[in-house]
Structure 1
Amino acid sequence: MSETTTECFAVSIENNIAHIRLNRPEKRNAMSRAFWSELPEIVNRIDREAQARVIVLSSTGPHFTSGLDVSAFASPEISGDGDDADADARRKARLSAGQTFYQNVLGMQESFSALEKCRIPVLAAIQGGCIGGGVDLTTACDMRYCTEDAFFTIYETKIGMTADVGTFPRIVKILPEGVVREMAYTGRRMMAAEAKDVGLVNRVFATQDEMLDAVMDIAREIAANAPLAVAGCKRLINYSRDHSTADALDYIAIWNASHLQTEEIMEAMTANAEKREGNFAPLPPKRTIGAA
C-alpha cells in the first residue's frame, strides 16, 4: 500500500482502490485555501495515471466537513475615507474584486468538478456534519453513504450567501425540486434518515467503522469489474443525466461502436463461469496533448 499526506488530505492506494481522507479533524475539516488545489491535483493524478479503479472519499473526526474556511478567504475592507484619488482607487479595487471573486469561484467549482469528470467512480462516506461546501463536494461524487448521526445543510443561506460552488446544478438532479428549495431557503439540517428517504444517500450505517467497511466492500465489487466498462458507465450516466433521451441513445450507440471490447466481454463471462477474478485490460493512462 502506498500512502501520502498533504496539508488537507491523507491518500492511500491498495488493491486498485484509492482512499482519500479529509485530514484536518482539529479544524472540523474546514476547506482552507490549500484544499482547493490539493483535491483536484490528487484526483486528476489518480485518474491521469490510472492508479486505481475506484476512489473512496472519507473524513476524520466527528464531522465530515464544516465547509468553507471563511477566515482563509477574508479580504480587507475598502475604506470610505480619503480624497478623490483614493476614491478612484477604491472604485478600481471594487471592480477588480468582483472579477477576482468570479475567477476564484470558477476555480473552486473546477475543484469539485474534477470528481465528476474523472473516469473513476467516487464513493463518499460521510459522518457527522456535511455542511455548506460539504454538500457541494459530496453531490459531485457518484454515490453517497452516511452514518446515522450525519446531517446535510446548505448552510450558506444562514450566513447571507447563495451556495455557488456546485450544490444547485447537481442536487436538483438528485432530489425533488421542492426538497432542494426547502433546504436552500431555510438552511435547515437534513438528517441521515431523511437523506436516505429522499435519495441523497444510498445507505445509512450505525457507525463510521461499519460504514467504511461496507463502502470498501462496494469499492472492491466495482474494482473487480472491467475498468473500461465501469468508466463507460460513469461517462454515459453523466451524459444521459445532462442530455435528452434521444441524444443519450445516439451517444451510447456511438460510444459502444468505438469502445466496446469483445475480448473484455468474453473474459468477464469466462471469469464468472470459472468463479475467478477477471483478467481485464487496465484503464489506460491519460495522454497529455503533445506527448509521444
Structure 2
Amino acid sequence: MTTTNTECFEVTIENRIAHIKLNRPEKRNAMIRSFWSELPSIINKIDTEAEARVIVISSTGPHFTSGLDVSSFGGSEISPGGTGDDETAKRKAKLTAGQAFYNNVLGMQDSFSALENCRIPVLAAIQGGCIGGGVDLTTACDMRYCTEDAFFTIYETKIGMTADVGTFPRIVKIIPEGIVRELAYTGRRIHAAEAKEVGLVNRVFADQSAMLDGVMEIAREIAANAPLAVSGCKRLINYSRDHTTADALDYIAIWNASMLQTSEIMEAMTANAEKREGDFAELPPKRSLGAA
C-alpha cells in the first residue's frame, strides 16, 4: 500500500484500487485554488503510469464538498467585470478580465474532464452535501453512490451564477432534462432517495461506513476483470453517449479489430472455470511524445 498527501487530498493505492479522499473536513472540503491543479495531477499520474485499475473518490467530515471556495480566487478569476479611470481603460480592463475569467473556467473544466478522460473507471462515494462544484465533480465520474443523508444542489443559481465547470453538459445525459431544469432553475436540494429514483446515483447506503464498504466491493469486482476490457468499455460507453448509434457501432467494430485480445478472453474463461483470479495484462503506461 502506498499513501501520499497533498493540501486537499489523501491518496492510497492498494490492491489495484486508488482511493482519493478530499481531506479538508474542517473547511467542508471547499475547492480552494490548489484543488484544481492537484486533482488532475493525481488522476493523470494514476492513469499515465497505470498505477491502479479503479479509482474511488470519497470525502471526510459531514459533507462531501461545499463547492468552490470563492474567497481563494481573485476578482478577475471569478467575475468578468473590469475597472479603470476612463472609458478606454474600463473597456480594456473589462476585455482583459473577461479573457482571464474565460481561461480560468477552461482550466477548472479540464480538472474535472480528467476524470472522464482517464482510462480507468472512477467511482464517487458521497456523504452529506454535494454542493455546487461537487455536482460538477461527481457527474464527471463513471458512477455515483451516496449515503441516506446525502443531497445534491446546483447551488450556483442561488448565488447569482450559472454553473459553468461541467454540470450541465453531463447531468443532462444522466437524468431527465425536466429534472435538470427544475434543479437548475430553483437551486433546490435533491436528496438521496430522489437522486436514486431519477438515476443520479446507483445505490444509497445507510451511512458512510456502509457506503465505503459497498463501493470498495464494487471496485474490487471491477479490478478483478481484464483492465484492457474495462478500459475499452469506458471508452466505448463515452463515445456511444456522444455519437449516433451508427457511428458508435462502427467505432466499436474498429476498436475490437485493433484491441481485442484472444489471450485475455481465454484467460478470463479459464480463470472463471477454475474459480481463481485472472492473470491479465495491465494497462500499458502512457508515453509522452518523443519518449524513447
Match of 1:199 in 2: 199
Aligned length: 288
AA partner of residue 258 (structure 1)? S
Deviation of 1:74 after TM superposition, in Å, equals 3.7
Question: Residue 42 of structure 1: SS of its match in structure 2?
Answer: helix
AA partner of residue 193 (structure 1)? A
Question: Residue 35 of structure 2: SS of its match in structure 1?
Answer: helix
Deviation of 1:258 after TM superposition, in Å, equals 0.1
**Aligned mates of 1:244, 1:179 — CA distance in 2:** 24
Match of 1:224 in 2: 224
Deviation of 1:178 after TM superposition, in Å, equals 0.2
AA partner of residue 94 (structure 2)? R
**Aligned mates of 1:231, 1:160 — CA distance in 2:** 39
Structure 1 runs of 4+ aligned residues shifted over 6 Å read: none
**Aligned mates of 1:283, 1:151 — CA distance in 2:** 35
Q: How does 1:100-249 map to 2 (within 5 A)?
A: 100-249=100-249
**Aligned mates of 1:182, 1:241 — CA distance in 2:** 23
**Aligned mates of 1:218, 1:188 — CA distance in 2:** 30
Deviation of 1:94 after TM superposition, in Å, equals 1.2
**Aligned mates of 2:170, 2:69 — CA distance in 1:** 22
TM-score between the two structures when normalised by the length of structure 2: 0.97
Match of 1:67 in 2: 67
**Aligned mates of 1:269, 1:111 — CA distance in 2:** 38
**Aligned mates of 1:32, 1:62 — CA distance in 2:** 18
Report if the CA contact (8 A) 2:82-2:95 is conserved: no
Report if the CA contact (8 A) 2:82-2:97 is conserved: no
Question: Residue 280 of structure 1: SS of its match in structure 2?
Answer: coil
Deviation of 1:88 after TM superposition, in Å, equals 2.9
Where does structure 2 lack aligned partners over 5 or more consecutive residues? Answer: none
Where does structure 1 lack aligned partners over 5 or more consecutive residues? Answer: none
Deviation of 1:93 after TM superposition, in Å, equals 1.4
Report if the CA contact (8 A) 2:83-2:94 is conserved: no
Question: Residue 146 of structure 1: SS of its match in structure 2?
Answer: strand
Q: Deviations over 1:208-255 (max 9, x none)?
A: 000000000000000000000000000000000000000000000000
**Aligned mates of 2:20, 2:46 — CA distance in 1:** 11
**Aligned mates of 2:97, 2:236 — CA distance in 1:** 39
**Aligned mates of 1:220, 1:177 — CA distance in 2:** 33
1:50 maps onto 2:39 in alignment:
no
**Aligned mates of 1:45, 1:35 — CA distance in 2:** 15
**Aligned mates of 1:153, 1:142 — CA distance in 2:** 19
AA partner of residue 178 (structure 1)? G
Question: Structure 1 residues 78, 287: closer, same or farther in 2, change over 3 A?
Answer: closer
Deviation of 1:91 after TM superposition, in Å, equals 2.4
**Aligned mates of 1:39, 1:33 — CA distance in 2:** 11
Question: Residue 61 of structure 1: SS of its match in structure 2?
Answer: coil
